[in-house]
Structure 1
Amino acid sequence: MRFRGLVAGLIAVAVSAGCAAQEDPDPGGAAPNPPAPGRSAPSPNPDAGVVPDDSVEFDSSPAIQQVQERGRLLVGVRNDAEEFAQRGPGGDYSGFDVEIARDLAERMGLGPQQVQFRRLPPSLLTNAVTSGNVDLLLGGSADSSALAEAGPYAVAGEPRFAVVTADDAALVAELERMFDESVADGTWQRIYDGTLAGRGIEVRPR
Structure 2
Amino acid sequence: MRCALPRPHRPAARIAAACPLLVPLLVLVLVLPGCGTATGSDSIAGRDALVVGVKADQPGLGLRGPDGTFSGFEVEVGRYIARRVGAARVGFRAVTSENRERMLEEGQVDLVLASYSITADRSRQVTFGGPYYVAHQDIMVRRSDTAIRTIRDLTGRRMCQAAGSVSTERVVEGLGVRPRLVPAPSYAACVDRLLSGDLDAVSTGDLVLAGFAARARASLRIVNAPFTEERYGVGLRKGDLDGCEAVNTAITQMYQSGEAARLLRVWFGSTGLKLTESVPEFEGCS
- CA distance, structure 1, for counterparts of residue 45 and residue 236 of structure 2: 14
Match of 1:5 in 2: none
Q: 1:156 aligns with which of 132, 135, 138?
A: 135
Q: 2:93 aligns with which of 88, 111, 118?
A: 118
What letter corresponds to residue 118 of structure 1 in structure 2? R
Counting only pairs closer than 5 Å after superposition, residues 129-140 of structure 1 correspond to structure 2 as 129-138=104-113, 139-140=115-116
How much has 1:189 moved relative to structure 2? Answer: 1.0
Maintained 8 Å contact 1:80/1:121? no
- CA distance, structure 2, for counterparts of residue 85 and residue 198 of structure 1: 17
Counting only pairs closer than 5 Å after superposition, residues 167-186 of structure 1 correspond to structure 2 as 167-186=239-258
How much has 1:80 moved relative to structure 2? Answer: 5.2
Match of 1:26 in 2: none
The structure having more radius of gyration, on CA atoms, is 1
- CA distance, structure 1, for counterparts of residue 62 and residue 104 of structure 2: 18
How much has 1:84 moved relative to structure 2? Answer: 0.7
Q: 2:266 aligns with which of 191, 194, 198?
A: 194
Match of 2:47 in 1: 67
What letter corresponds to residue 51 of structure 2 in structure 1? L
How much has 1:119 moved relative to structure 2? Answer: 1.3
Counting aligned pairs with the same residue, the percent is 27
- CA distance, structure 2, for counterparts of residue 65 and residue 159 of structure 1: 23
What letter corresponds to residue 92 of structure 2 in structure 1? F
How much has 1:63 moved relative to structure 2? Answer: 2.4
Maintained 8 Å contact 2:46/2:86? no
What letter corresponds to residue 95 of structure 1 in structure 2? G
The runs of 5 or more residues in structure 1 that have no matched partner are: 1-58
Match of 2:102 in 1: 127
Counting only pairs closer than 5 Å after superposition, residues 20-99 of structure 1 correspond to structure 2 as 60=40, 62-64=42-44, 67-68=47-48, 72-79=49-56, 81-99=58-76
How much has 1:196 moved relative to structure 2? Answer: 1.8
- TM-score, length-normalised on structure 2? 0.46
- TM-score, length-normalised on structure 1? 0.62
What letter corresponds to residue 109 of structure 1 in structure 2? G
Q: Which range moves more in the overlay, 188-197 or 73-82?
A: 73-82
What letter corresponds to residue 182 of structure 1 in structure 2? M
Deviations 1:86-144, CA, capped at 9 Å, x for gaps: 11111221110011011112213345xx3211111221111011111111111324615
Maintained 8 Å contact 2:62/2:74? yes
What letter corresponds to residue 91 of structure 2 in structure 1? Q
How much has 1:183 moved relative to structure 2? Answer: 0.5
Counterparts in 2 of 1:83 and 1:159: CA distance versus 1, 3 Å: same
What letter corresponds to residue 128 of structure 2 in structure 1? E
Counterparts in 2 of 1:92 and 1:80: CA distance versus 1, 3 Å: closer
- CA distance, structure 1, for counterparts of residue 248 and residue 41 of structure 2: 13
Compute the RMSD of aligned alpha carbons. 2.2
Maintained 8 Å contact 2:56/2:70? no
- CA distance, structure 2, for counterparts of residue 162 and residue 90 of structure 1: 26
The runs of 5 or more residues in structure 2 that have no matched partner are: 1-38, 137-229, 281-286
